[in-house]
Amino acid sequence: MLESNAVLMGTTASQKLYGTQDERIADEIWQLVGKLETELLSRREEGSEVALVNQKLKTEKVVTISKALSEYLQLGQEIWRSGEGCFDLTLGELTSLWNIDEQVGEEKPLIPTAEEIAKAKEKSGFANLTLVSSHSVQVETPVMLDLGAVGKGIALDEVAGYLEGEPAVTCAIISLGGSVLTYGEKQDHSPFQIAVVDPNHRDKVIGCVKLEGRHFVSTSGAYERFFEVDNTRYHHILDPVTGYPAKSDVLSATVVSDSGYLSDALSTACFILGSEKGLTLAKMYQAQVLFVTTSGEILMSEELEGKFVKD
């Protein structure tokens, strides 16, 4: 086994490759993820496509984009419609306003005012953006793209494609924070075991999902990145409808899909929607979801019932 760790996309990343000791493969996987972040996906990297598009959208009504970005936005817009607006890749103004990531650990984090949130919402929302063609977008009101909710899933999709061209790798587990790719088959034919964290105790797990072959697993939860003010937790998953950190009947949502993008996007959408509507949305995209609810229950898609083992 070849094991490697890194810090990418603002999170801890790890990989375990079986069947090879070729460090070139491990290095190229991290280079692939890093390149996606800095050249395409990050709104914070000045040279990335998303950052450049955001800059142009401040003054231009129609902006040219790559086919790849167009496809990501098109699928995102579809999920936005299917999920009652609870998933949105145009929330850059809101995420910048809340600035949750930068305020974690601060002694006196700042909470935006209702007026500030209302103004940011006016510059957010897929309703303000039209995909004119596969190579351009049009806006009436300037918006700021933020692909943070799908970035890790997109990266894992690309990693899976890369591994297909490396036959020496018989099996792999790649983790980017809360998103995981399982690939290939273990030598002993045992299933992969993907732990589900207890959202009330991050150092513990409630159980694991047993999977065979290629799958993408993403978890969204209120315990990941947050700060507290006056005993109220403000986490990083913003509800596009309210403009505030999402509130539903779930503490975490874990989605299993055959697409990294979908696993990432749907875990966010299902977390915001809550368990009942989340189960319906996941089924629409042939994905499975497991919820840990605020009451301590574990709810899941029927397809996962035989794959989840409680700790």
Domains of the chain (ranges; CATH) run 2-17+171-310 (3.10.520.10), 59-139 (1.10.3980.10)
Q: What's the CA gap between 173 and 165, in Å, rounded?
A: 16
> Can you give the pLDDT at residue 152?
98
pLDDT at 107 over 90: no
Percent of the chain with pLDDT over 90: 91
> Which of these, 55, 82, 44, lies nearest to 281 by C-alpha position?
82
Q: What's the CA gap between 104 and 233, in Å, rounded?
A: 11
Q: Strand 192-198 and strand 201-211: pairing?
A: antiparallel
More confident residue, 81 or 108: 81
Q: Residue 130 forms beta bridges with which residues? A: 138
Which one-letter DSSP state was computed for residue 196?
E
> Can you give the pLDDT at residue 222?
87
Residue 133 tokens, joined: 């063609």
Give per-residue pLDDT as tens, 22-76: 999 999 999 999 999 999 999 999 999 999 999 999 999 999 999 999 999 999 9
Q: What's the CA gap between 35 and 9, in Å, rounded?
A: 10
Q: Strand 129-133 and strand 11-18: pairing?
A: unpaired
Q: Where do runs of H (alpha helix) occur along the chain?
A: 23-36, 49-57, 67-82, 92-98, 100-103, 114-122, 151-164, 260-273, 275-284
Determine contact, residues 26/162, Cβ cutoff 8 Å.
no
